[in-house]
């Protein structure tokens, strides 16, 4: 079942800069829906208090979910580490969440191929990044070995040129 977009007069009628300010106000402690309604009215927009209430409820729920995801991501990085281990963990988490969304009918089936394609790109870039790290580490080991072998017989100028050439690729 395709997900139906929920329209909101708040997001549909307010220009981006006013909507950004409304969103910021929703996150301010002590600011009420009435305060936000008054702000929009002063700016010349005739949108009901209840429309701001509905929009605010969805906005704050989305914001809260994003904060939870951010906290979970930080926990994953601290527990799983970086690179391939983290990518594998995220893969499992994404697959689990996607299955739950499919079961609950909360995902647009037409968007699944795009989601999977984007995730495949993420995995591919992770693999390439990890391969690059391994290559750099191997080259650095070889460079250190060559430097240790030749440094004793080099003059200071020759050593500087060796570093420029082999480490920085300048010569």
Please write the tens of the pLDDT for every residue from 35-45: 999 999 999 99
The residue range of the domain holding 12 is 7-78
Write out pLDDT tens, residues 91-128: 777 777 777 777 667 777 777 788 778 777 877 877 78
Structural domains in the chain (count): 1
Q: What is the pTM of this model?
A: 0.47
Instruction: Calculate the average pLDDT of the chain.
Output: 80
In a domain, 51, yes or no: yes
**Structure tokens that stand for 35 in this block:** 């305060």
In a domain, 112, yes or no: no
CA distance 23 to 34: 14
Write out pLDDT tens, residues 140-170: 888 888 878 877 888 888 878 887 887 776 5
């Amino acid at each position: 079942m395709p997900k139906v977009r929920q329209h909101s007069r708040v997001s549909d009628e307010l220009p981006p800069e006013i909507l950004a300010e409304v969103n910021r106000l929703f996150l301010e402690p002590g600011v009420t829906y009435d305060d936000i309604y008054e702000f929009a009215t002063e700016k010349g927009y005739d949108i009901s208090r209840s429309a701001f209430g509905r929009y605010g409820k969805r906005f704050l729920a989305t914001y809260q979910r994003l904060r939870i995801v951010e906290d979970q991501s930080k926990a994953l990085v601290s527990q799983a580490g970086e690179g391939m281990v983290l990518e594998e963990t995220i893969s499992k988490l994404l697959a689990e969440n996607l299955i739950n969304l499919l079961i609950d009918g909360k995902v647009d089936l037409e968007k699944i191929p795009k989601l999977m394609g984007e995730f495949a790109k993420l995995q591919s870039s992770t693999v390439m990044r990890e391969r690059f790290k391994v290559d750099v580490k191997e080259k650095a080991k070889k460079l250190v070995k060559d430097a240790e072998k030749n440094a004793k017989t080099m003059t200071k100028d020759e050593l500087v040129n060796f570093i420029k050439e082999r480490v920085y690729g300048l010569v």
